[in-house]
Chains A and B, each alone.
Chain A
Amino acid sequence: MKKQSPSPAKRRGSSSRFKETIVPHLISISAVLIVFFILRAIIVQAEQWPRIKAQFFNLQVIIEVFPKVLHGFGINMAVWVISLVVIAVWALLLAIFRSLNGPWFAPLRVFAIVYIDLLRGLPSLLLVLLFGFGMPALNIPGLPKSNIFWGALAMISSYSAYAAEVYRSGMDSVHDGQRAAAKALGLNQGQTLRYAILPQAVRNVIPSLLNLAVALQKDVALLSVLGVRDAVREAQIYTARTFNYSTLIAAAILFLIATIPMARFTDWVTERDRKRRLQRTQ
């Protein structure tokens, strides 16, 4: 929009430019507002509305528990950020293991394949339960007992399997000519990966990785089943006591505040990536 070359509209003067650029926006905004108010009028007049409002949108309840839910949400986001960093590195290692040629690397290759197949095939919830309850129950000295630790490790294990496959598709998408060029310059397998293949592979898969990050941002709430006092758990504790669900709405709002910008950011990066590719093929 910003880089438009002088269009016929511009030359016709500012009044027609107003018509062509601002009026459509005004129409869109008005249309959305009209529909919103009609729906609102219908909902508010409905017989059930006061009950729904009291159950889900009780402002007093929301305000009352908000500090606790917010604190829990902080745990969610901390687990998310730490997991992201670990996943980004661990999944890359798995993808590299899987890509290595040569008989000596067979154990690493097989390990990566088995790992990815197993962990991609299992529901995250099952892994969280298995790690989070199972590991501390073993009572092995030296191993951490914290359920946050084991829950996060379960999420990391599961998401790494997906992310490894994303990395691998990125490595496969690097043109064969790049490998040939690297080899012809005398680079060995490791140098070829490090300097030629991985930088391009990672650049190619950043949008897909960000999509995984958005999914994980919500899925960290699975840790609540372990009793970790995250946003969902805090909300549930209150709900169980009072049978009022407004606290869950409070948690929902917090998640949306975090996930929607993240999703928008992902869209923006994806779009930029798409443009870059278009430019390159021109």
Chain B
Amino acid sequence: MNRIEIEHLTKYYGNKLVLDDISLNVKEHEVVTLIGASGSGKSTLLRCVNNLVDFNEGDIRIDGRSLFDQSFGPAALYKKVGIVFQAYNLFPTMTVLDNITLAPRKVHGKTKKDSENKAKELLRLLDLEDFADSYPEQLSGGQQQRVAIVRAMATEPELLLLDEITAALDPELIGGVLSVIKELKTKGMTMLIVTHEMGFARDVSDRVCFLDGGKIIEEAPPQKLFTTPENTRTQNFLQRIIESGRL
């Protein structure tokens, strides 16, 4: 069953073609990873999926419902789809606990008590229970990113979008964040991931898509794409990655 269906998606920023006729499906429990050079359109694609940016042509359907469907409002969409950003984007004037319980309480009508219990349970799972009353700026980058993951999970989304969630982290903090995502995969979470961590992409993905110039150039299971890529552009990209020691 397809949970995310992207059809002939085209997007311009001004005159610049950023996404060029992209079609991609993500099935139930599937983890699909987008890789590609900086500026190839990965973040833009992800942001189209949860309606953070508009697109010019094509359609995106979540569980069969188009984003253009008037009855498919923000509350329903963002109940289904969660996102974690590279820059964490926690609200700095709120405690960790308030960051996490904001959407459950204000958008989904949960009581303060229920949402806080649930938040504390999630924080405990990620070894963050001591930080419930801290402010984001008192936490390390890795801790902030794990809080951001908890915040995205607090509304119990069925689909998770991850945009280079480890790119701003020191190397020693990356592992802790990625292991959380691997854990989510074993629990069956459907995910669309953008990452520069090729080792992680290889371990966690069911399918990897290589983007270049706003197009999906190659799409294959990780074992295949990382070892015997067919397209020369994919080969060149992976070659550069290997040379820089990131695979």
Contact = CB atoms under 8 A, between A and B. Distances in A.
**Are A and B subunits of one complex?**
yes
Interface of A: 175, 177-178, 180-188, 191, 195-196, 199-200, 203, 279-280
A180 B151 contact: no
Given A181-B89, A184-B78, A195-B106, 14 more contacts: A175-B89, A177-B89, A180-B52, A184-B81, A184-B82, A185-B107, A187-B103, A188-B74, A191-B106, A195-B91, A196-B91, A199-B91, A203-B93, A280-B137
Interface string B92-129: 11100000001100111000000000000000000000
Interface string B59-92: 0000000000000001101110111010101111
Q: Which bucket holds chain B's interface residue count?
A: 20 to 34
A200 B102 contact: no
A253 to B, nearest CB: 40
A185 B92 contact: no
A195 B79 CA distance: 19
Nearest to B51: A183
Nearest to A183: B52
Contacts of B151: 185
B96 to A, nearest CB: 14
A195 B82 contact: no
A178 B87 CA distance: 10
A181 B137 contact: no
Contacts of B85: 177, 180-181
A168 to B, nearest CB: 18
A186 B74 contact: yes
B50 interface: yes
Contacts of B81: 184
Contacts of B89: 175, 177-178, 180-181
B155 interface: yes
A188 B87 CA distance: 22
Nearest to A184: B83
A196 B151 CA distance: 14
Interface string B151-167: 10001000000000000
Nearest to A203: B93
B174 to A, nearest CB: 20
Closest 6 pairs between A and B when the two form their complex, measured CB to CB: A186-B78, A181-B89, A199-B93, A185-B103, A186-B107, A177-B89
Contact of B107 (A187, A200, A280): A187
